[in-house]
Amino acid sequence: MTFDPFGDFATRGYLRNVARQKDLTIVRQMEHSSFTTGLEEAFAQLNACTTIRYEDVLSTHEVLFEAVYPSWAGQDRLATTPKLVITKGTGDDKIIFAYPQDINRAVAFALTRGQDKAYMAAHPGDVMGYLAHGHPFLDGNGRTIMTVHCVLAHRAGISIDWASTTKSDYLAALSLELEDPGKGHLDAYLKPFIRKGIDPDTFVANVGGAPGLDGENEDTVLGNTEDPRLKAEYEAQELKRKEAKP
């Protein structure tokens, strides 16, 4: 089933893309072109930030994907689809991402950990997992957080040799991290690929070399955030996480 959170795929194409294109292969090509074209500007903006905040993550997404999704690039799911539960996978492999009202808190928590240089150097996978849990956008999440993560890693004195990773193994480790946070699943996977910090001039090549960036696995609308059954399932998942609750 096509991911259609706006309910207007028939008239406006996949996620209201600028071309109203319905062919997902073509949309992914458009996304990849926009992403690679915008990387240099995105890194320049992030490098200018003394402290990277949630708003900077939103701005990064806007720079990377506004050419494809001009109506909502840079807006999170609280703005675009505030009542929808977004998930990836099915059955026992299902991951429920942060509810719209929790996205800011989840990403801010990841950024706090990621800007603790000692913690980031020791646990880059944990930071990536918490960023991924936030899942702020309807599309482009993986590429956006990898861009932010690259800058956080650099400030901690390390880099990830993304070109040496494999998409299937990385996504498998990330799924484990999301299902069972704080147990080091993604830290263990990334450990062989940790290198010394790289020159900011090579950030684009570093992230651009990651496998599988020409498209992401499609999300699913699971239901409404007010559904009692889904709320109970989500709250049980959230108990595993360490970000501070209000």
List the chain residues with pLDDT less than 70: 1, 90-92, 214-217, 243-246
Q: Are 241 and 181 in contact (CB under 8 A)?
A: yes
Q: What is the pLDDT of residue 246?
A: 45
Q: Which helix (H) or strand (E) holds 158?
A: strand 158-160
Q: Residue 89: what pLDDT? A: 76
pTM to 2 decimal places: 0.94
CA 37-38-42 angle, 5° bins: 150
Q: What is the pLDDT of residue 211?
A: 86
pLDDT of residue 198: 94
Which sign does the torsion angle of CA 170, 82, 238, 104 carry?
A: positive
Where would I find the H helices in the chain? 9-12, 24-47, 54-65, 77-80, 103-114, 117-122, 124-134, 141-155, 167-179, 185-190, 203-208, 228-238
Domains assigned to the chain: 9-238 (1.10.3290.10)
pLDDT of residue 114: 98
Q: Could you tell me if 162 and 209 are in contact, meaning their C-beta atoms sit under 8 angstroms apart?
A: yes
Which string of DSSP letters, residue by residue, matches 93-114?
G-EEPPPGGGHHHHHHHHHHHH
pLDDT of the residue at 93: 72
Which token pair is 188?
Answer: 């263990």
Q: How many CA atoms lie within 13 A of 43 on its CB side?
A: 24
pLDDT score at 237: 84
